[in-house]
Structure 1
Amino acid sequence: MALASSTLSAPQSGPGAARSDEDLAPGDIAVGVVIGRASEYFDFFVFGIASVLVFPQVFFPFVDRLSGTLYAFLIFALAFVVRPVGTLIGMSIQRHFGRSTKLTAALFLLGCSTVGMGLLPGHAEAGSTAIVLLALCRVGQGLALGGSWDGLPSLLALNAPPHRRGWYAMLGQLGAPLGFSVASGVFLYVFSSLEAKDFLSWGWRFPFYTAFAINVVALFARLRLVVTHEYEKRMEEHELDPAYLRELLPAQGQHIVIGAFAALASYALFHLVTVFPLSWIALYGDQGIEDFMKMELLGAFFGAAAMPMSGLIADQIGRRSYLGALAVAIGVFALFAPLMLGGGKPGQAAFILVGFVLLGLSYGQAAGSVTSNFLPHFRYTGAALTADMAWLLGAAFAPVVALFLSSRFGLVSLSLYLLSGVVGTLVALRVNKKLQAAAVVQD
């Protein structure tokens, strides 16, 4: 993909000038954003896949497979519950010690939490202690992800050419299909290469160990930007610094809620085409896990290919109108989702491929769709908390709720869950439009 070559500001002149701002073009920021987000998604998808293939047998062998998967999905949700807390802790660290210290600590915690999961004993060796340790590691992942907010997506959006903001907004989201592809690929290789006994004994741990190496690469890619003079200068110019919650909430707290609900349809779809279908196939499907994981890998490539299209289209019709149209499309998909996922291999393939395309098109523009509503000095913290709330409301409990309801009332529950996200998005976009119109009248 060709990235715009425009720079953030004109370079300084003179023999004693500092590094030129040309060294921090939007393309440079985009690389840091994509690599950083891909590493975070990898860590989270490794846990999500293991919640289906590993954790029910290793940590919850005392219950049936369905109950074990539901318990694992509850632990999966913990990271999203504590993520806002991690954001606030990270903001405090940044005020006292700087962005680079915060980012290093957050990614170190993320890597250690993920690797720590691979070192845990199972229930057979440690009993309930193993479950507690797994939950603590998951909480560590959530705190780390919240603390790793670096402001790069906001900086990228603010410095992108006005007519290409949808394109640059998409780049940060591209980390999702990339992270899922790598996590699924690693798990698929290990799962298909080993006997079931060896996989559940030691093979499943390998993807968790891989996470640390990936996080180290991501850390250096992001620090390369964060520690530069140009980055700090631009963050200061845009007032992208932590704001105190006691000031943000009374002044513009409503925009956090609106922003979270505006992305609800996309975030609800997120885990319902990645993690949930794998659990459904493992429990009730008539095809092998390997074949289905290969189909999900193909779907991830479809989703990655659809994301650039989201940027191009959004730049033509506007991001908020685009999100509304995609919410309606997700609603149509929701109506046919039970027929597809319950329709054997052809229907399941259609569910994955169509679902991932819709995910790529919608998720590519879901982040920061109303971030511009925040005043400059609230934008850094507001954008972070908006993303946290979108994950919590839309995606955190999606796998456990969808699996629980579908196992008892059928796949029609999946339709209702997705449709609730669609309604949330459309209402939020409508409210946001009215608030903007009122602001224009007042001006």
Structure 2
Amino acid sequence: MAVASSTFQAPKSGPLTSRTDEDLAPGDIAVGVIIGRASEYFDFFVFGIASVLIFPQVFFPFTDQLTGTLYAFLVFALAFVVRPVGTLIGMEIQRKFGRSAKLTVALFLLGCSTVAMGLLPGYATAGSTAIVLLALCRVGQGLALGGSWDGLPSLLALNAPPDRRGWYAMLGQLGAPLGFLVASGVFLYVYTSLNTLDFLSWGWRFPFFTAFAINVVALFARLRLVVTHEYEKRMEEHELDPAHLHELLPAQGHHIVIGAFAALASYALFHLVTVFPLSWVALSDPQGIDDFMRMELLGAAFAAAAMPMSGLIADKIGRRSFLGTLAIAIGVFALFAPMMLGGGRPGQAAFLLIGFVLLGLSYGQSAGSVTSNFLPHFRYTGAALTADMCWLLGAAFAPVIALYLSSRFGLGSLTVYLLSAVVCTLLALRVNKKLREAAVVED
């Protein structure tokens, strides 16, 4: 989901320039980006919600609910662990068969992996084999998401007007709250429409089946752009093609690390306001799950509304300054998070609404905040791998770590965990600023 921001370069062609700009306008690219990202987030949030409501009972019934949820969260993290591998495999497919083939394979794997989860037998039927199959499907999701990097966010940023890059960078991230809204809404409908026995036996499978239809729509929306001559032409003009890892890492691999840590606070907050609090409520107040999910839907709407604001503000004060300010705000939120989440339903509502607003503001500008540091021929691969590392370091293990620490040491540990991510973000932004200043001096 990383979006590269760099100085706009005029197309190299002459007479076709105006026609190309019309045929591949930023608005057209934005539609493909939003639809594509929303479908991917839907798949992942369906798994995240099921990790709380379903998997402890269906796949880990041999242990208590807390331990079963922790096991489910470990399986949840697998997709983020293998995502960089999926990115590299996908880029190799792209070199040999083209972008459209890579995208088709990746989204087909994503949809099939998600649908297959809805067909899996439970532990009571297949024993440990059921857990292994669930893990394999989750790995399939991770490989697919890594391989689905199409360069559309980078192309969107490069075609955006120089004074509106913050706005266009936000559009790719808008898929997150939209995907969460749809996933949570589908699960809430099924959860509240069925009794517990029916929900755990067959009702939970419906959201997974829905994923395939959503992925088909997303595939055609993205292929509509990817297969066009104008798209390929623009990608070539901006050198947005895969770079070999043995060339990228020695030359500019440090930018991947800096980029990952620069967005750490936002990515850590991502699962701490979406997946983790649902698990906490499911364990502490199971009768209030449906009301809590309704409040999460409202929170996601708040996040979707905050994201456009992030684009407008970032264009005024600069994306890196905005990220630093939001990191401090997330730190303040972390100080009061235990009080709110442990303060009954009013406190939980405050936790969700404030947390989702901060998520919308920070996540809206977190992608690609430092990827302009990459040389043009490294930017396509560098942006993809930076996004992979953001998810791996910031979000992959956030639910399992937060739940384990909170259950063992209390909600105060949530403050420490989130503050550590804030410190990493501020340090990474500082290092990035120093590197940019040094580069200017050298020039």
Q: TM-score, normalised by structure 1?
A: 0.96
Alignment partners' CA distance in 1, 2:336 and 2:86:
38
Mapped contact 2:272–2:398 kept (Cα < 8 A): yes
Aligned AA (2:65): R
* 1:350 aligns to 2:365 (yes or no): no
Give the structure 2 partner of residue 246 of structure 1: 246
- Separation (CA, whole Å) in 1 of partners of 2:18 and 2:379: 28
Deviation at 1:41, TM superposition (A): 0.1
Contact 1:11 / 1:21 at 8 angstroms: preserved in 2?
no
Listed as ranges, the matches of 1:201-212 within 5 Å are: 201-212=201-212
Superposition map of 1:21-36 within 5 A: 21-36=21-36
1:218 corresponds to which letter in structure 2? A
Tell me: CA distance 1:95–1:346, structure 2 relative to 1, closer, same or farther (3 Å): same
Aligned to 2:3: none
Q: How does 1:229-378 map to 2 (within 5 A)?
A: 229-285=229-285, 288-378=288-378
Give the % identical residues: 85
Q: Distance in 1 between matches of 2:283 and 2:29?
A: 42
Equivalent in the alignment of 1:3 = none
Residue 20 of structure 1, CA deviation: 4.5
The amino acid of 1:36's aligned partner reads G
> Given residue 136 of structure 2, which amino acid in structure 1 is its aligned partner?
L
Quick check: 1:385 aligned with 2:385? yes
Deviations along 1:100-151, one digit per CA (max 9) or x if unpaired, are 0000000000000000000000000000000000000000000000000000
Rounded Cα–Cα distance in structure 1 between residues aligned with 2:27 and 2:376: 23
**What secondary structure, in the 3-state scheme, does the structure 2 residue paired with 1:288 have?**
helix
- Structure 1 position 116 matched with structure 2 position 116: yes
Q: Distance in 2 between matches of 1:437 and 1:140?
A: 42
Aligned counterparts of 1:185 and 1:414: Cα–Cα separation in 2: 27
Q: CA RMSD in A?
A: 1.7
The one-letter amino acid paired with 2:420 is: S
Contact map agreement 2:39 2:214 (CA 8 A) in 1: yes
Does the aligned pair in 1 maintain the 2:12–2:237 contact within 8 Å?
no
Aligned ranges 1:28-47 → 2 under 5 Å = 28-47=28-47
Query: What is the CA-CA distance between 1:286 and the residue it aligns to?
Result: 6.8
Alpha-carbon distance between aligned partners in 1 of 2:402 and 2:203, rounded to the nearest angstrom: 28
Task: Name the SS for the 2:150 alignment partner.
Answer: coil
Conserved? CA contact 2:11–2:237, under 8 Å: no
Structure 2: how far apart are the matches of 1:421 and 1:236? 37
Work out whether residues 187 and 207 of structure 2, in 8 Å CA contact, stay in contact via their aligned partners in 1.
yes
Deviation at 1:288, TM superposition (A): 1.2
Distance 1:374 1:9 in 2: 19
Deviations 1:204-234 (A, max 9, x none): 0000000000000000000000000000000
Is the CA contact 1:12–1:20 (under 8 Å) kept in the aligned structure 2? Answer: no
**Which residue of the partner structure matches residue 149 of structure 1?**
149
Aligned-residue offset at 1:239: 0.3
Q: Alignment length, in residue pairs?
A: 436
Structure 1 residue 285 displacement after superposition: 2.8
Q: Could you say which residue in structure 1 is the equivalent of 2:422?
A: 422
Bigger Cα displacement from structure 2, 20-29 vs 119-128: 20-29
1:396 maps onto 2:389 in alignment: no
Q: CA deviation at 1:19?
A: 6.9
Shift of 1:284: 1.0
For residue 366 of structure 2, give the secondary structure of its aligned residue in structure 1.
Answer: coil
Q: What are the equivalent positions in structure 2 for 1:150-229 lying under 5 Å apart?
A: 150-229=150-229
C-alpha separation in 2, matches of 1:228 and 1:318: 33
TM-score (norm 2): 0.96
Residue identity opposite 2:143 in structure 1:
L
Gaps of 5+ in 1: 1-5
Match of 1:76 in 2: 76
Tell me which amino acid in the other structure corresponds to 2:279.
S
Aligned partners of 2:250 and 2:289: how far apart in 1? 49
**SS at the partner of 1:60?**
coil
Structure 2 residue identity aligned to 1:429:
L
**Offset of residue 21 of structure 1:** 3.9
Q: Contact 1:11/1:20 (CA < 8 Å) preserved in 2?
A: no
Partners of 1:97 and 1:109 in 2: CA distance: 17
Shift of 1:243: 0.2
- State the Cα deviation string for residues 281-308 of structure 1 (Å, max 9, x = none): 0001375110000000000000000000
State the Cα distance separating 1:23 from its structure 2 match.
1.4
Moved over 3 A (4+): 8-14, 17-21
Give the number of the structure with larger relative contact order, counting CA–CA contacts within 8 Å between residues 6 or more apart: 2
